[in-house]
Structure 1
Amino acid sequence: MNEQAIEQHLKKAVEAIGGLCWKFTSPGTAGVPDRICIHRGRVIFVELKVPGRLPRPIQRRRIQQLKEHGVDAVIVDSINGTREVADALRAA
């Protein structure tokens, strides 16, 4: 399974519960997560990876920075992981 397929599944899963799943870019800031998912005031930043591939050090640092500011940020490398994000948003 490639990253694009996981990303498409994440987008569909979040939109199916009425949420937003936007591609996230931040010009000038390397390593930010790929997607920002929002539902009923809950926000989760998502870094997508091919199964078994680890995030780069700068990506791990950005995720840690978000967590230090009280924001949920996760790494997803499977279809099951996309469901977990949608479930977490739905629980908000």
Structure 2
Amino acid sequence: MNEVLAGLSVVSTICAIVFGYVAFARNGKRDVADEAKSDATVLTEIGYIKANTDEIKAEQKEQRKTNVEVVTRLTAVEASAKQAHKRLDAFESRERREHEE
């Protein structure tokens, strides 16, 4: 009877070790799969951020180009207004001289 109990104890210990290892291996595979999923999600998010950053850079470049065009046109308008003011001043001077005579 003691031999049966001893044998049963040995068998149950071996079964516990085997089942524990099987559970550990299965959970390890599950952990690897979960980690792969997590890594894939992170990589997807990084790709999304990169795409948005590239889009923002393109828009910023386009805005910079527009600003240069506006500054160029503003400079031309200021020069034209300056010339117009000179002509108006000359016209006013002529008008004053004609009225004084």
Query: Please, what TM-score do these two structures have when normalized by structure 2?
Result: 0.17
Which structure carries more strand by proportion? 1
Which structure carries more helix by proportion? 2
Larger radius of gyration: 2
